[in-house]
Structure 1
Amino acid sequence: MNSETPLHDYLVISRGHWDKDKSKEQIDTAITEFYDWLNRHIEAGRMRPGSRLSTDRATVSKAGVTTDGPFGEAKEVVGGYWFVSAASLSEAADLLSHSPTLPCGLHYEVRPLDPELCTASDITNETPPA
Structure 2
Amino acid sequence: MAKYLLLKHYRGAPKAVNDVPMDQWTEDEISAHVQYMRDFADKINATGEYVDSQALAQEGTWVRFDGEGKPPVTDGPFAETKDLIAGYMIIDVDSYERALELAGELSAAPGKDGKPIHEWLELRPYYGSAPTITE
1:98 aligns with one of 90, 105, 112: 105
State the secondary structure of the residue aligned to 1:13: strand
2:41 is the counterpart of 1:41: no
Q: Which consecutive residues of structure 2, in runs of 5 or more, have no partner in the other structure?
A: 12-17, 111-115, 130-135
State the secondary structure of the residue aligned to 1:11: strand
Decide whether the 8 Å contact of 1:42 with 1:49 is kept in 2. no
Give the stretch that moved more between structures: 8-17 or 100-109: 100-109
Question: Corresponding residue for 2:86?
Answer: 79
TM-score, normalised via structure 2 length? 0.66
2:35 is the counterpart of 1:32: yes
State the secondary structure of the residue aligned to 1:56: coil
1:20-53 deviation per Cα after TM superposition (whole angstroms, max 9, x unaligned): 2985234432321221121121232111122111
Number of residue pairs aligned between Structure 1 and Structure 2: 110
Q: Distance in 2 between matches of 1:42 and 1:105?
A: 23
2:23 is the counterpart of 1:15: no
State the secondary structure of the residue aligned to 2:32: helix
Q: Distance in 2 between matches of 1:33 and 1:72?
A: 23
Q: Which consecutive residues of structure 1, in runs of 5 or more, have no partner in the other structure?
A: 1-6, 117-130
Q: Give the Å deviation of 1:56.
A: 2.3
Identical-residue share of aligned pairs (%): 22
Question: Corresponding residue for 2:54?
Answer: 51
The structure with the largest alpha-carbon Rg is: 1
Q: Give the Å deviation of 1:69.
A: 4.3
TM-score, normalised via structure 1 length? 0.68
